[in-house]
Amino acid sequence: MSGQDWPEGTGRHVLAVTDSTNAHALREAPVLQGPAWFLGLEQTAGRGRRARAWASPRGNFHATLLLAPTESPEQVALRSFAAALALRDAFVALTGLPAAFSLKWPNDVLLNGAKVAGILLEATSAGAGVQALAIGIGVNLIAHPDPSVMEAGALPAVSLLSETGVRIAPETFLDALAPAYARWEAMFTAQGFAPLRAAWLAHAAKIGEPIRARTGKDTHFGVFDTIDSQGNLILLTATGRLAIPAAEVFF
């Protein structure tokens, strides 16, 4: 156990090197009792959304929380918002800079308007439900991708060190993140999504402003109005309100 605030009953595993903390966590799922965090000090095959490679230099944060949720898959997916809120809490606790951090739908954290962290949920299924959920989190603590490898139109990436001058070790970040997530998880299981939705909206980037949301084949332009009770992006378009369950968002 590390840190006085480490959530009771939650495992803490630090791996010198692993392929992907999500993949490792899901391999461990059949034998684990209770939730567990897996921190990879180095990842050799990290990945982001849509199977993109995720740069994983040593000194950055790559970790996964493994859970065995009982809700429907739609409810389980809402934990990405719990993870985003916990990430913001950890950043604020470690830097004392609450105004610097905002949340980008669906699952990024921004520092001074640029991407500093991302979240990737992966799951194994059991019948119609979810057997194991891996909440993967990558944070640019000391390094960030070069603009040349970023998708055209994507937000620039920054590191915590480059933007704030604060140098945080991955283990230290985990010890702030784990209790922060445990608080949001407890609220979610007791009260549902409503309090998380309200908190997320209070820190959301670009609410009330024009954005572009790209789904598989279509691109929608409109004003970012809110997120609904299912976590969908609500866009005010020229033809009316549009609920978008999944998309890449560009500012």
Dump pLDDT digits (tens) for 1-52. Answer: 345 699 999 999 999 999 999 999 999 999 988 999 999 999 887 665 555 5
Residue spans in the chain of domains classed CATH 2.30.30.100 = 210-250
Q: What class has domain 210-250?
A: mainly beta
List, in order, residues 6 or more apart from 95 with CB less than 8 Å away: 160, 164, 166
Whole-number Cα distances in Å, 99 to 59, 111, 181, 248: 25, 9, 20, 24
**Average pLDDT of the residues of the chain:** 92
In this predicted model, what pLDDT tens digit does every residue of 43-94 receive, in sequence order?
A: 887 665 555 555 567 899 999 999 999 999 999 999 999 999 999 999 999 9
The owner of tokens 């005010």 is 236
Q: Which residues pair with 207 in a beta bridge?
A: none
In this predicted model, what pLDDT tens digit does every residue of 177-196 receive, in sequence order?
A: 999 999 999 999 999 999 99
Distance CA 46, CA 136 (A): 10
Distance CA 176, CA 7 (A): 11
Q: How much of the chain, in percent, has pLDDT values that exceed 70?
A: 92
In this predicted model, what pLDDT tens digit does every residue of 203-235 receive, in sequence order?
A: 999 999 999 999 988 999 999 999 999 999 999
List the CATH code of the domain at 11-202. 3.30.930.10
pLDDT of residue 54: 56
Instruction: Tell me how crowded residue 201 is: count the other CB atoms within 10 A of its CB.
Output: 14
pLDDT of residue 89: 98
Q: SS in 3 state form for 149-206? A: HCCCCCCCECCHHHHHCCCCCHHHHHHHHHHHHHHHHHHHHHHCCHHHHHHHHHCECC
Mark residue 43 as left, alpha or beta (left: phi above 0; alpha: psi -120 to 50; beta: remaining): beta
In this predicted model, what pLDDT tens digit does every residue of 96-143 receive, in sequence order?
A: 999 999 999 999 999 999 999 999 999 998 787 889 999 999 999 999
Contact 136/122 with Cβ under 8 angstroms? yes
Contact 135/112 with Cβ under 8 angstroms? no
Residue spans in the chain of domains classed CATH 3.30.930.10 = 11-202
pLDDT of residue 106: 92
pLDDT of residue 2: 44
Type of residue found at 27 = R
